[in-house]
Structure 1
Amino acid sequence: MNTDLTLVIMAAGLGSRFGGDKQLASLGPSGEPMLVLSILSAIRSGFQRAVLVIRPELEAELTGILTQFLPANFEYHFCYQSLSDLPQDAKLADLSHRLKPWGTAHALWCARDWVKGPMAVINADDFYGDSAFASLAKGLTARPNDWMMVAYPIELTLSEHGGVNRGLCQVAQGQLRSVAEWLNIQAQDDGFVGEGPNGLAKLPLQSLVSMTCWGFSPSIFNVIKQQLTAFIEQQGQLPKSECYLPAVVQAAIEQGVPVYVDVASEPWLGVTYPQDTVWVKQKLMELLGDKTH
């Protein structure tokens, strides 16, 4: 198998709660968007290329940003998250009810033609830290046919300005046993509360969550094909339904695929709401200063 490492960045989101294109927001010490900070971290860890899953209207501005901040010889590609780019058996005759793409599993599906070997998969608008990419590079190089994730303690991932969505992880013996999407997670005096698969519930204080910091082999695309096809059949007519990557990973775990877990040793930073930006800029300046180049 090709053991060159590819970083896949899901950058097609609409940023509805943020009120704009978070993936373009200037947050780093030199005005870098988060995705640039991630690519620079990945380069330091030995990744050879990046694939950015975007909306077509972002390409020109992103090209300018990447040209400004990345090494001239670093290889990157754009691919589009198109509503109609679905598995053959999942085609919908009428997409007129749909205004947004089909979620994170669909975003990764749209990158399938650009990835031949092991890949890290992240969000464009999150900061993961150098150590997360070092963990991914080490794991993917040692086990190029396996899957992995870097999990974050939940208390390091919340916003003071409202609820957040997270993939809640159950981990045993260094492997992921289950991951489920929880919505609107917030801190309370006695812990955390969120909307899980069975409705509103408390979360354990020591919870680990997925911040979309995954490592996959190309076998992920076969599982996405199965899950996306089933999803479109069941929920394809709902205008806002999304097929989440954690649901695909959970299906793979149930099929016997091992997913190894590293726990992050640096803080995760992200902007869910516009009010988060000042704090995140300050934290990035403290963490990175002028070390981004």
Structure 2
Amino acid sequence: MQPTLLILAAGMASRYGSLKQIQQFGPSGETIVDYSIYDAIRAGFGKVVFIIRKEFEKEFKEIFEPKLKGRIATDYVFQDMNAYLDGYQVPADRTKPWGTAHAILCAKDAINEPFAVINADDFYGRDSFEKAATFLKNAAKPDVYSVIGYQLSKTISEHGSVSRGVCAADENSNLAAINERTNVYKDGEQIVYEDADGTKHPLAGDTPVSMNFWGFHPSVFELSKGLFKEFLEKSGDKPKSEFFIPIVIDHFIQNKLGVVNVIPTAAQWFGVTYKEDAPGVQESLSSLVKRGEYPDNLWK
């Protein structure tokens, strides 16, 4: 069975003001997500599911359907504030969506096969999609999930600090913990993160970090549903609380429900954390095109 690619795009419009201006980086006006879908198709994914906001459905389909028709099956699901609340009342002051793990839960009825999850605005590289597809076709089980582990040095912005989920792996290359490190940046020849009091801690360049590229068996939906209920009871009244994927992963590992394989890649990640990153993204893509890794028009 071919795996599915689930793309978290519900936050996309808020960043760009309107989908019409989704930033074009490729030589023929491609967005970053175009490259992810292209890589997924050639790695053997059979379907792409977009998680979007309902009000952008028409614009989204106008952008992606002409490109993808006949190339890969598509589906669209909406991250709705009222989905899976199970009787819980949304607080009046709540405007923020419930977070990435809730977004995945919203795709429950659209996916019955092993699937990968990515962000819409990160460039992950061909190697990652090939490794994810191999895992999903051969190794994903109700008790075996995965995360693609990027080398920290390949995920740093030249224009400011970033936040990274630092992966600690056990002797079997399974995830032992993810520690969210904020304020990670290059300090001379070193990469460091700063803690709240400004103390700097060095991190090795080959430290594996999560860029939110996960491999799941559909069993994750039932697990997330139960945990979302607990999250609402505990934190639903906090206007900025979010139900993140690492909350689910942490519960899965700590309660010995299964293992999460850390799949290493040497792929170069890039994304637009700062608007100054945009020209670098364009340059990186055009050099990949020049080297023949991508055609100069993905969908011609």
Where do residues 2-151 of structure 1 align in structure 2 (5 Å cutoff)? Answer: 3-13=1-11, 20=17, 24-88=22-86, 91-145=87-141, 146-151=144-149
User: How far does residue 87 in structure 1 lie from its aligned partner after superposition?
Assistant: 4.4
Q: Quote the residue 1:217 is aligned against.
A: 217
Determine helix, strand or coil for the equivalent of 1:85: coil
User: What is the one-letter code of the residue matched to 1:241?
Assistant: S
After TM superposition, the structure 1 stretch with the greater mean CA deviation from structure 2, 51-60 or 63-72, is 63-72
Partner Cα distance (1:194, 1:15) in 2? 31
User: What is the one-letter code of the residue matched to 1:186?
Assistant: Y
User: How far does residue 85 in structure 1 lie from its aligned partner after superposition?
Assistant: 1.0
Determine helix, strand or coil for the equivalent of 2:26: coil
User: How far does residue 199 in structure 1 lie from its aligned partner after superposition?
Assistant: 9.2
Q: Quote the residue 2:275 is aligned against.
A: 274
Determine helix, strand or coil for the equivalent of 2:104: helix
| 8 A Cα contact 2:12 2:120, kept in partner | no
| 8 A Cα contact 2:4 2:48, kept in partner | yes
Where do residues 158-177 of structure 1 align in structure 2 (5 Å cutoff)? Answer: 158-172=156-170, 173-177=172-176
Partner Cα distance (2:93, 2:48) in 1? 32
After TM superposition, the structure 1 stretch with the greater mean CA deviation from structure 2, 240-249 or 21-30, is 21-30
Pair 181,244 (structure 1): closer, same or farther in 2 beyond 3 Å: farther
Q: Deviations for 1:68-123, whole angstroms, at most 9, x for unmatched residues?
A: 432434211111111111342xx432332112211111111111110101001100
User: How far does residue 49 in structure 1 lie from its aligned partner after superposition?
Assistant: 0.3
User: How far does residue 272 in structure 1 lie from its aligned partner after superposition?
Assistant: 1.4
Determine helix, strand or coil for the equivalent of 2:275: coil
Structure 1 stretches (4+) deviating beyond 3 angstroms?
18-23, 198-201
Higher-Rg member (1/2) = 2
Q: TM-score, normalised by structure 2?
A: 0.87
**Structure 1 position 156 matched with structure 2 position 157:** no
Can you give the 5+ residue segments of structure 1 that lack an aligned partner in the other structure?
none
Determine helix, strand or coil for the equivalent of 1:275: helix
| 8 A Cα contact 1:105 1:243, kept in partner | yes
Instruction: Tell me the percent identity.
Output: 35
Partner Cα distance (1:246, 1:166) in 2? 12
User: What is the one-letter code of the residue matched to 1:236?
Assistant: G
Partner Cα distance (2:198, 2:91) in 1? 30
After TM superposition, the structure 1 stretch with the greater mean CA deviation from structure 2, 131-140 or 269-278, is 269-278
Q: Deviations for 1:9-52, whole angstroms, at most 9, x for unmatched residues?
A: 00011577x56468932122321122221111111011110110
Partner Cα distance (1:200, 1:80) in 2? 41
After TM superposition, the structure 1 stretch with the greater mean CA deviation from structure 2, 34-43 or 56-65, is 56-65
Partner Cα distance (1:28, 1:200) in 2? 39
Q: TM-score, normalised by structure 1?
A: 0.89
User: How far does residue 67 in structure 1 lie from its aligned partner after superposition?
Assistant: 2.7
Can you give the 5+ residue segments of structure 2 that lack an aligned partner in the other structure?
none
Pair 126,4 (structure 1): closer, same or farther in 2 beyond 3 Å: same
User: How far does residue 279 in structure 1 lie from its aligned partner after superposition?
Assistant: 0.9
Determine helix, strand or coil for the equivalent of 1:286: helix
**Structure 1 position 262 matched with structure 2 position 258:** no
| 8 A Cα contact 2:181 2:193, kept in partner | no
Partner Cα distance (2:229, 2:129) in 1? 31
Pair 176,100 (structure 1): closer, same or farther in 2 beyond 3 Å: same
User: What is the one-letter code of the residue matched to 1:55?
Assistant: R
Partner Cα distance (1:234, 1:105) in 2? 16
After TM superposition, the structure 1 stretch with the greater mean CA deviation from structure 2, 183-192 or 142-151, is 183-192
RMSD over aligned Cα atoms = 2.3
| 8 A Cα contact 1:166 1:183, kept in partner | yes
Q: Quote the residue 1:285 is aligned against.
A: 286
After TM superposition, the structure 1 stretch with the greater mean CA deviation from structure 2, 265-274 or 283-292, is 283-292
| 8 A Cα contact 1:177 1:253, kept in partner | yes
User: How far does residue 164 in structure 1 lie from its aligned partner after superposition?
Assistant: 2.0
User: How far does residue 236 in structure 1 lie from its aligned partner after superposition?
Assistant: 1.0
Q: Deviations for 1:146-203, whole angstroms, at most 9, x for unmatched residues?
A: 211111011211222233222110012221111133333222234311458x996625
| 8 A Cα contact 2:184 2:191, kept in partner | no
Determine helix, strand or coil for the equivalent of 1:166: strand
User: What is the one-letter code of the residue matched to 1:129?
Assistant: G
After TM superposition, the structure 1 stretch with the greater mean CA deviation from structure 2, 228-237 or 201-210, is 201-210
After TM superposition, the structure 1 stretch with the greater mean CA deviation from structure 2, 233-242 or 39-48, is 233-242
